[in-house]
Every structure is written in structure tokens, then in C-alpha cells.
Amino acid sequence: MIEREFPSKLLDKAVNEFSKLPGIGKKTALRLVLHLLKQEKEDVNAFGNALIQLKNEIKHCKVCHNISDNETCEICSNQLRDKSIICVVENIKDIMAIEATQSYFGTYHVIGGIISPMDGIGPADLNINSLVEKVSSGEVKEVILGLSTTMEGETTSYYIFRKLAKYNIEISVLARGVAIGDELSYADEITLGRSITNRTKFETTYNE
């Protein structure tokens, strides 16, 4: 019986590569590849080359481990960013999320993951030593722990807190509380409890 699924090995190869991506099955992969087949040769070549360049040419900032086209990323080399405030984040997605708020003008430090014994990730696998070095240089005034509020995130925050406790700096965490736009009844008890304990002065954003 005919068992072969694709009429072309080249097609098969491309579909296979796509279906290795997270959340993309064989059917979606085929749809994407057939779409690419209909595009201009130059466009598909550009796509392929973008992926090859991405992996071969991208660098990590030597200061904060952010992804960068140069030795030092745009944030670390920006004179207007406050180098004495460092926000510790898990990955560059978190940097992008915080940057999108346009509310932060300090710098970052990407630790590259989170302590997770289940996944075999310990403190030694993360960029924590370089953070401690930065702090020990004496030029840092504040470290903001901007990690996830999961158990692993909190564990990692606590680990970093312990490592930095002996230095004379401020260590803060992102405020926890009820999300803006959420109905109160949807907030979980722990968040709600924290947001009552840590309640802040009422400030209206409406013009009076």
C-alpha cells in the first residue's frame, strides 16, 4: 500500500522543520509550507536567511544578558537609562513587557530562567553571579526583583535576596495586587489579601 505522505522530500523536510516548533502540528505545518510555496522566491529566501542570521549573528549584551545586535544592548548603552537601578527579569520577553509600559527608566539584568529543581535548573544555571558582581561594585542603588509570582519565581527571588542582603542597597519587588480592569470577585484570595494589607493612598486619575 502507498504509505508515503508527501509527494516531495523537500516539502516533507520543510513541514518537518515547522512541526518541530511548539504548538505547530503536522497539519498547520503543511498549511504554512504550502503558503510559503505560493510566495515569491525572494520572500521565502528572506525568511530562511532571517532565521539563519538570527541564530548566527545575534549576541547577548555583556552587561545585562539581554538579546542584542551589539556587544552592549541598546538599553545598557543608552545614556538616559539609570544604571544604578537594576530590574532582575527571567527572560527578554519580560524586558519587552516592561519596556512596553514606558514606566521604567532603569536597566535590566536577565537571569535566563528560574530556579526549578523539577526541570533540573539550579542557581548555578542562571546569571546570578554576574548580578552579585555588579552590585558588589558599589554603583547599584536598587535591585527590583521582577520575577514571576509563581512558587519557583518567589524561590528565585528569595535566593537572590539572600545573595544581595549584605550589600547596602534597596531590594524591592513588583507590587502585587488586584489587576487593573479585573472584577474583584475574580481575584484570588492571596492576591486580594495582599492588596488589602499593602493598600495605598487613593489617587484619582480623573480630572476633577
Count of C-beta atoms within a 10 Å radius of residue 198: 10
78 in Cβ contact with 68 (< 8 Å): no
- Closest to a copy of itself by CB, 87 vs 164, is 87
Q: Does 95 bind a copy of itself (CB under 8 A)?
A: yes
Answer for which of 19, 25, 50, 187 binds a copy of itself (CB under 8 A) is: 50
- Closest to a copy of itself by CB, 30 vs 143, is 30
Distance CA 78, CA 156 (A): 28
The distance of closest approach from Cβ of residue 51 to a copy of itself in the complex, given in angstroms and rounded to an integer, is: 4
Distance CA 140, CA 78 (A): 17
- Closest to a copy of itself by CB, 96 vs 196, is 96
11 in Cβ contact with 33 (< 8 Å): yes
- Closest to a copy of itself by CB, 8 vs 136, is 8
Q: Which residue has the cell 545585562?
A: 64
Count of C-beta atoms within a 10 Å radius of residue 67: 15
Give me the residues that bind a copy of itself (CB under 8 A), please: 1-2, 4-11, 13-14, 16-17, 20-24, 28, 30-37, 39, 41, 43-58, 66-69, 73-75, 91-93, 95-96, 99-100, 102
